[in-house]
Amino acid sequence: MSLLLIALFAGLLAIGAPVAVCLGLSAGVVIVTQGLPVSVLAQRSVNALDSTPLLAVPLFILAASLLNATGVTTHLFDLVRMVFGRIRGAVAQVSVFVSLIFSGVSGAALADIGALGAIQINQMKAQGYREDFAAGLTVAAATIGPIFPPSIPLIIYASVANVSAVKLLLAGIVPALLLTLLLMAQVALVARMKGLPRDTLRPARREVARKAAVSLPALLAPALLIGGLMSGWFGPTEVAGVTVAYALFIGFAVYRSLTVRAVLGALRETVEATANILFVVAAAALFAWVLTLDQVPMKASAFLLGLSENPLVLLLIVNVFLLAVGMVLESIAAILIIAPIVAPALAAAGVDPLQLGIVFVLNLMIGLLTPPVGMSLYMITVITGMPVARVIAGVMPFFLPLLLSLLVVSAVPALSTWLPELLMN
């Protein structure tokens, strides 16, 4: 049964069918041909969507769309430029740091690229940077978003792996900061070797203070979100709702740049993005149910534990597997299919569920930069008009800090577990 399911899925994927269709149609065919109850199609799909943590997904998408519509990304970029401007390669460093700040409201790599990509690349090109370097750095820095809270992939992982969503979001803070530092270190190294220019912006202190005052409401958005999670006042769903309310407040009352038309546009984007994500969630639930019925998770656990019982060895094996999966499968679909299979085996071997969640998502975010499926690559080609091959050449040097951060997070569990244990206990 599982072989038929996987063969149908691979065949549909090979002919270019959408991932959700591949998952749902292959599962539906197996359910019908094997004489299983057809009512399962509706029951399992509805049950998968009946999840409180998933309510946070559309709210975070809406919050990011609203904040982007207010123009906060421009304010943030200008402020960080004023702070970093005197160092070599400053605009590139700004791109990484602003990605970290904006990740505190977006929760998705593609949202970061959509909101910041054109600004980052145009600023770097204006300073004389190579276009392929600018594009590569932009897509590499966007991987910070799905690790730092709020992270839509982490919320979805928590819902399918039975992990506390709040703890998992907090677990992503330190790894995201590590990834940011390694990317900035890579930029500093390239700046020294290639002689990247210093920023031409030379603001007076009064201008910096004025820009900081203008940017303060935007900077408070991620602080509000993370503070709410750390304090225990809000869960992921509540903090998402508060972030939407805050975005509406600063858009209408503070910046006064948000219009009714912009809000309607943000709502339209949210409905489209949420429908795409939840379609995959519902279809993947059917796919996973068929695999579970055929005892694939138990067989996979036995196989992995038969290879080794050392947690680090198992994590390295899973890393290699997920990096390969990320090349051919969309990240949310990969989480929904593979997490229920892999997580029990690694938990039995002693891998902390929080560490595994971070490792899992970081792997798949790196997969966004690898062909043939790498969605970040294709999105940046739409923004820049560059061929995919040039974007890939530009991103290649940044695989070093990405893979190094993955290795460190895999080898040091405390990077993922320390902060949640400190705050939640």
The identity of residue 16, as a single letter, is G
According to DSSP, the residues that pair with 198 across neighbouring strands are 88
What's residue 312's pLDDT?
87
What's residue 408's pLDDT?
95
pTM of the predicted protein model: 0.83
Q: Report the C-alpha gap between 402 and 406 in whole angstroms.
A: 6
Please state, in angstroms and as integers, the Cα–Cα distance from residue 74 to each residue in 243, 255, 286, 406, following that order: 19, 12, 43, 30
* Cβ-Cβ contacts under 8 Å for 88 (sequence gap 6 or more): 188, 191, 192, 195, 196, 197, 198
Distance of CA 212 to the CA centre of its chain: 28
DSSP tally for the chain: helices H, then strands E: 22, 0
pLDDT at 357 over 70: yes
CB half-sphere exposure, 217, CA atoms < 13 A: 18
What's residue 409's pLDDT?
94
Q: pLDDT tens digit string along 118-142? A: 777 887 887 788 888 888 888 888 8
Share of the chain residues as helix, strand and coil, in percent rounded to the nearest 5: 80, 0, 20
Q: Report the C-alpha gap between 336 and 217 in whole angstroms.
A: 36
pLDDT at 54 over 90: no
Domain boundaries, given as residue ranges, for the chain? 39-424
pLDDT at 213 over 70: yes
Q: What percent of the chain has pLDDT over 90?
A: 12
Distance of CA 6 to the CA centre of its chain: 26
The alpha carbons of the chain give a radius of gyration, in whole angstroms, of 22
Q: pLDDT tens digit string along 275-326? A: 888 888 888 888 888 887 877 767 777 777 777 778 888 888 888 888 888 8
